[in-house]
């Protein structure tokens, strides 16, 4: 258990530094600029409503540091989950970290985003924080259920290609349909639809990239993968 956890933390440290740089160079300047636009360009907002408890510089430093820690935290979680769940994760030793990271992304980010989409600065949530906290936990559970369901469908399908299609089907369907069914819980906050879409795209890209990087680093730090380690299940199909 210890070597796998160590490998996860190391992968998290490497990827966390890259994600911290991404936060410093892209996310922070963009978010801060959008906050400016939302404060000064939007109507009906009085300046006092959005005043922050700390300075701009502190926000920058702490946000970048949080990015690094976020990478380490998710890396540790991936390592620990990999130790326990590896036998249940489909794929070869080379692809399993990616499958598990995908399940992590689904649980930690995509699930909650189904009903609580990422918001740009200036956009306001309409639900109370306590309601959202409960909702967030429920949606994470929904994301995890989707991942388990996808794995089960993959195993039931006859061959690998059909298995991948069957496994991805409920996930793609949920991502396509659920956001349309759930009520809008955020206000536009004076930003254009295009800008909000672009900002959301960046957030999704950042988190997906983070998980992809974690899986890559985790695999790279582990033993060299061989072609002979297919599970009995996969040798059958």
Instruction: Provide the binding-site residues for other proteins, judged by CB under 8 A.
Output: 1-2, 23, 27-28, 31-32, 52-54, 58-60, 62-64, 66-67, 70, 83-88, 109, 112-113, 117-121, 124-125, 129, 132, 202-204, 206-207, 229-232
Smaller CB distance to other proteins: residue 31 or 107? 31
Smaller CB distance to other proteins: residue 30 or 169? 30
| In the complex, minimum distance from the CB of residue 113 to other proteins, in angstroms, rounded to a whole number | 6
| In the complex, minimum distance from the CB of residue 97 to other proteins, in angstroms, rounded to a whole number | 15
CA gap 120, 35 in Å, rounded: 8
Smaller CB distance to other proteins: residue 98 or 211? 211
CA gap 126, 177 in Å, rounded: 22
Could you tell me the two tokens for 231?
């599970």
| In the complex, minimum distance from the CB of residue 43 to other proteins, in angstroms, rounded to a whole number | 19
Choose among 163, 146, 143: nearest CA to 155: 163
Smaller CB distance to other proteins: residue 86 or 220? 86
For residue 186, what are the β-bridge partners? 125
CA gap 2, 82 in Å, rounded: 12
Smaller CB distance to other proteins: residue 3 or 169? 3
Smaller CB distance to other proteins: residue 14 or 203? 203
Smaller CB distance to other proteins: residue 29 or 169? 29
Whether residue 237 contacts residue 155, with contact meaning beta carbons closer than 8 Å, is answered with: no
| In the complex, minimum distance from the CB of residue 15 to other proteins, in angstroms, rounded to a whole number | 14
| In the complex, minimum distance from the CB of residue 55 to other proteins, in angstroms, rounded to a whole number | 9
| In the complex, minimum distance from the CB of residue 73 to other proteins, in angstroms, rounded to a whole number | 8
| In the complex, minimum distance from the CB of residue 86 to other proteins, in angstroms, rounded to a whole number | 7
CA gap 163, 170 in Å, rounded: 12
């Amino acid at each position: 258990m210890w070597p796998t956890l160590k490998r996860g933390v190391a992968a998290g440290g490497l990827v966390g530094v890259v994600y911290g740089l991404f936060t410093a160079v892209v996310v922070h300047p963009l978010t801060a600029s959008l906050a400016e636009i939302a404060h000064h360009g939007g109507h009906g907002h009085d300046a006092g409503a959005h005043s922050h408890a700390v300075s701009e510089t502190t926000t920058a430093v702490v946000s970048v540091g949080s990015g690094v820690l976020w990478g380490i935290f998710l890396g540790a979680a991936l390592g620990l989950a990999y130790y326990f769940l590896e036998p249940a994760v489909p794929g070869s030793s080379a692809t399993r970290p990616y499958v598990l990271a995908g399940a992590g992304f689904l649980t930690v980010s995509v699930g909650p985003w189904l009903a609580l989409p990422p918001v740009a600065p200036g956009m306001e949530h309409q639900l109370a924080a306590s309601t959202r906290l409960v909702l967030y936990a429920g949606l994470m559970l929904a994301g995890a259920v989707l991942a388990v369901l996808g794995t089960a469908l993959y195993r039931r399908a006859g061959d690998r290609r059909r298995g991948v299609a069957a496994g991805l089907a409920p996930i793609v369907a949920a991502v396509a349909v659920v956001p349309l069914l759930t009520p809008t819980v955020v206000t536009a906050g004076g930003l254009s639809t295009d800008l909000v879409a672009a900002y959301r795209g960046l957030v999704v890209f950042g988190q997906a990239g983070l998980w992809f990087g974690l899986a890559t680093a985790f695999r790279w730090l582990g033993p060299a993968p061989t072609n002979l380690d297919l599970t009995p299940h996969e040798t059958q199909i």
